Amino acid sequence: MNSSLNLRTLFAPSNIRTLAGPLLIILVLSMMVLPLPAFVLDLMFTFNIAVSVMVMLVAMYTKKPLDFSVFPTVLLVTTLLRLSLNVASTRIVLLEGHTGPDAAGKVIEAFGHFLVGGNTAVGLVVFIILTVINFVVITKGAGRIAEVGARFTLDAMPGKQMAIDADLNAGLIDEKEAKKRRAETSQEADFYGAMDGASKFVRGDAVAGILILGINVIGGLIVGVLQHNMELGQAATNYTLLTIGDGLVAQLPALIISVAAGLVVSRVGDDGDMGSQVIGQVFSNPQVLVLTAAILGILGLIPGMPNFVFLMLASGLGYMAWRGGIKQAAIEEAEAPVAAPVVPAESQEASWSDVTPVDVLGLEVGYRLIPMVDKGQDGELLKRIRGLRKKFARDIGFLAAPVHIRDNLELKPNAYRIVLKGVEIGTGSAFPGQFMAINPGRVSGPLAGRETTDPAFGLPAVWIDASQREQAHALGYTVVDASTVVATHLNHLILSHAPELLGRAETQALLDHIAKDSPKLVEDLVPKLLPLATVQRVLQNLLDEGVNIRDMRSIVEVLAEFAPRVQDPLELTSRVRQALGRAIVQSLFPGSGEVQVMALDPGLERVLMQAMGGGGPEGGAIEPGLADTLLRETAAAAQRMEDIGLPPVLLVPAPLRWLLSRFLRRSVPTLKVVANSEVPETRLIRVSAMISPTA
């Protein structure tokens, strides 16, 4: 029973597929040492031709190189198969060649007689031509493409990884998609590296074919004349024809495999299979076909030329141009917008329907950017904007208003404008079909293109064509497409204007969302203890200083605790920040290590406390000279912190936090001001810079 079960498991379909590879390698290697009958040799030669044709067809129908990632291994196996067949056929040719032209099987006989007419000179010339085509033209070109592709792919890996990280940070892709793209980038580099090495197999196979041909001819003459007492002419005829047939039956699959290698490494783009791309890009332009037909027609009218052939081809191309023109006109007519019937304008009284509310968040585009946001054309920017809103909701803690997109003919064709409540907050330009190569500060060379500036972060950049993408990656640029440029700019502005996006409606929707899990908590707070406007103001204060409001349960609990005694939004914000202190510090200093901060000189701290005058966070004023010194020294200290890779964080007493945060943020936008009471007791504080009025 156990043995029957083991055999059944061994010969299961999945196990047979697993064993197919090792069995094929063992079979190929055994052909080098074991004598094969002529029929088996015919079978293996036919199998070799069939495999080579299959590989070439798979290469033609592959949409991108990684879809045929096993090709370098297939190249090695097929090369080994051909060499094994050469060894096996050489053995049988030398042993049985004296018996006649069918000594090595029907396949070799057919290639030696039928294809070259039994003429040794013709066969030799045909074999040499096929070898030269394979070795000098196809294999050398494919090997060069693979070598350059491997080098540029390896050089471009850092830029591609940075682009993936940028898309991930902007919310355009999730972690799963980022992991998939990183794996594809690594596999692409491995594939081109393997193809660079595997191309040497084909070149070596071509050289081996020439050497085997010479060895077989010389060996056949020696065996025929000395061992079988044949006439020199008869021996030359028998062994040379068998050797040429053997060489041709091996070189034809080698040539087909070389063509497949060239097809795989020379592909550009992944829009379709090779046949569809050739037909679509070469024979789809009616103007090109008409001009070609006219040239052939003129040549066909010249006396002495093969008029019938030229005129027949000219007629065929002319018919293709006519059919292509009809099809193109039909497509343009179908895509043309249908003009709406003109309705006479009637004078009507104005109504409330004429009053259109201002969109909270809007994106206006020039007419050349319309395909990026057209739902009918599957605009890529629409998907990215949906991803941005989802990521914003996850990271910040509330759902922002939808982005209303409309075209604006007053803008330049490639321009776009981002508006918040009817006010412009950002502008830029994008060029569909082109890519923006952003200089992160460590590129190794310049790029030819339209110089510009990254609209989101102000980095120098260049608009480049798609053909320059790999070159830009290799030079260290971060390359993104036009829709990513607009989406990243929009994401940056949404994050920086988060407080303004949190209106009354969003605040109420956020509280309603919390009430699904904690209805009593929200009911006790609004409107019994605090009005909705005060809760909104507290949340806006948090967002204004870069604190997310994802932990709404803790925020509502703190407000409910202090609302009976405190109604001031600034004081309530301070209480909420203390409750969220652990999360605030964690976002600035991940992990559990020490907190390296800037601090105020004790003398300066006392002066500022006196200036406050006990009037609350907004009470008191700072003397102008002291204010100027404070700004200058804080900016210098923040720059030193950033230079050593630390976030610029200023630690101050709680009464000073709001005043200094609002005052210093205008000159040092990256500065974060944290109160002593907000730092958890479990974190060790280390003062790395001291701000003094006499520094």
Evaluate whether 430 touches 372 at the Cβ level (below 8 Å): yes
Strand residues in 403-553 grouped as ranges (E): 403-407, 415-420, 423-429, 435-438, 450-453, 460-464, 478-481
CA dist 458 and 489 (Å) reads 10
687: β partners: 597
Handedness of CA 259, 262, 264, 267 (dihedral sign): negative
> Looking at residue 563, what is its pLDDT?
92
Q: 222, 94 in Cβ contact below 8 A?
A: no
- Do 557 and 523 meet the contact criterion of CB atoms below 8 Å apart? no
- Amino acid making up residue 692: S
**Cβ neighbours, 10 Å, residue 322:** 14
Report the relative pairing of strands 361-365 and 450-453 from DSSP bridges: unpaired
Please say whether the beta carbons of 385 and 486 come within 8 A: no
DSSP code, position 596: E
- Return the pLDDT at 5: 46
How far apart, in Å, do the first and last CA atoms of the chain sit?
90
- The H or E element containing residue 689 is strand 685-691
Which phi and psi angles does 15 have, rounded to 5°? -70, -35
According to the model, what pLDDT value does residue 666 have? 80
Q: Which residues of the chain register pLDDT less than 50?
A: 1-5, 7, 10, 339-340, 343, 345, 614-617, 695
Tell me how crowded residue 303 is: count the other CB atoms within 10 A of its CB.
5
Check if the beta carbon of residue 79 is closer than 8 Å to that of residue 205.
yes
pLDDT at residue number 273: 63
Distance CA 365, CA 416 (A): 4
Query: Model-level pTM?
Result: 0.56
| Count of residues making up the chain | 695
Backbone angles phi and psi of 185, in degrees to 5: -65, -45
